């Protein structure tokens, strides 16, 4: 008579071996990256992927966490993602491009502020760049507001009028303005400070996700001081021996892209070519954000990845597997 316990052991070993063989059937892998930290990712994408035990990476704009804006995840929601195996990556401090603000710390010129007539505590100054990443007053970040009226009642805030290129500031300390001690944030500081802010909230951050999928060689070189890997755009996959750890390519997923076309990229590159396919997504299951994708399409993609045993990894995990565990900020 057959021993039931022996049968269960054999079945268990079979399942384990089948799983290992299935996972190792090809060396390609897939990463799902959700830019901007939109709340819809927590509400719709997180349950879809969690049901299949699939991880993802979420790029967080550090300056938009816990601001009260319901379009973006708060720190508690982001913390739940991290506890579930998701990777928390920096998506900059204010989502600017390096060509629109000062590039380096050395270019962070102090604003030439002057008192605003009839507005006690307010100062204004001309600003020569197209966008303003933020203002720093003796090491403290000021909060951006949508009007001069709001700035008037809040020390430590500012308003930037892009049409006329003028900044109105309500400093924490008027002496900072009078001594010209308020400076515009550079992209170098965006790289560094966004990581510091997120790590200060308790998140483990080793990956940078470039805003607008915009990247330059000089910023790639600079990012090595702060991050272990960087993901950009490019609409291409990553192949062994020809991929830069600080310029990892991603395919952008657009609203009208059917799940079948995204799955086709996985089949062609991850399965047949053993390449690393990284997808750039934004909002899911809602109309918020740039190029939102339908939650049903994400579920279809996730089911395919699970069924075919395609390895799904975070960007940090993928970089470790692809390049080895040698990169660390500052090296």
What residues pair up with 129 in beta bridges, in sequence order? none
Is residue 19 over pLDDT 50? no
C-alpha triplet 277, 281, 284: angle, nearest 5°: 135
SS3 content of the chain, % helix, strand, coil (to 5): 35, 20, 45
When pLDDT is cut at 50, 70 and 90, the band that residue 327 belongs to is: low
Is residue 36 predicted with pLDDT exceeding 80?
yes
pLDDT category, 300, cuts 50, 70, 90? very high
Taken in order of first residue, the domains within the chain and their CATH numbers are 27-96+188-323 (3.20.20.370), 109-184 (no CATH)
Return the DSSP state at 134. -
Rounded to an integer, the average pLDDT of 93-109 is 92
pLDDT for the residue numbered 271: 97
Is pLDDT larger for residue 324 or for residue 210?
210
Q: 327 vs 30, 133, 242, 320, CA distance in Å?
A: 21, 28, 17, 8
pTM assigned to the model: 0.86
Q: Which residues contact 271 (CB under 8 A, 6 or more apart)?
A: 26, 28, 308, 310
Q: Extract the tokens encoding 323.
A: 């390049």
**Residue 290 · residue 91 · CB < 8 Å:** no
Looking at residue 83, its pLDDT comes to: 98
- Cα dihedral across residues 252, 308, 303, 320: positive or negative: negative
Nearest to 210 by CA among 220, 201, 221: 220
Q: What pLDDT, on a 0 to 100 scale, did the predictor assign at position 285? A: 96
* CB of 66 closer than 8 Å to CB of 75: yes
């Amino acid at each position: 008579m057959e021993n039931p316990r022996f049968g269960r052991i054999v079945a268990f070993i079979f399942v384990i071996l089948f799983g290992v063989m299935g996972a190792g059937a090809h060396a390609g892998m897939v990463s799902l990256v959700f830019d901007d930290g939109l709340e819809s990712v927590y509400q719709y994408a997180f349950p879809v992927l969690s049901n299949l035990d699939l991880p993802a990476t979420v790029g967080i704009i550090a300056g938009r966490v816990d601001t009260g804006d319901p379009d973006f995840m708060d720190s508690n929601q982001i913390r739940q993602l991290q506890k579930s195996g998701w990777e928390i990556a920096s998506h900059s401090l204010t989502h600017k491009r390096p060509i629109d603000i000062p590039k380096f710390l050395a270019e962070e010129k102090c604003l030439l502020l002057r008192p605003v007539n009839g507005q006690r505590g307010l100062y204004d100054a001309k600003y020569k760049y197209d966008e303003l990443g933020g203002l720093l007053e003796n090491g403290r970040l000021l909060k951006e507001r949508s009007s001069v009226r709001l700035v008037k009642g809040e020390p430590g805030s500012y308003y930037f009028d892009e049409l006329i290129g003028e900044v109105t500031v309500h400093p924490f300390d008027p002496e900072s303005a009078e001594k010209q001690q308020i400076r515009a944030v550079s992209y170098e500081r965006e790289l560094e400070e966004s990581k510091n802010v997120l790590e200060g909230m308790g998140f483990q951050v080793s990956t940078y996700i470039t805003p607008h999928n915009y990247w330059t060689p000089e910023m790639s070189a600079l990012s090595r001081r702060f991050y272990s890997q960087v993901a950009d755009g490019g609409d291409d996959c990553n192949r062994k021996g020809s991929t830069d750890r600080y310029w990892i390519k991603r395919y952008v997923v657009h609203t009208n892209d059917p799940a079948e076309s995204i799955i086709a990229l996985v089949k062609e590159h991850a399965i047949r070519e053993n390449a690393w396919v990284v997808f750039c997504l934004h909002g899911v299951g809602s109309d918020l954000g740039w190029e939102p994708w339908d939650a049903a399409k994400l579920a279809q993609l996730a089911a395919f990845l699970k069924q075919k045993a395609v390895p799904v990894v975070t960007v940090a995990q993928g970089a470790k597997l692809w390049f080895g565990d040698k990169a660390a900020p500052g090296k």
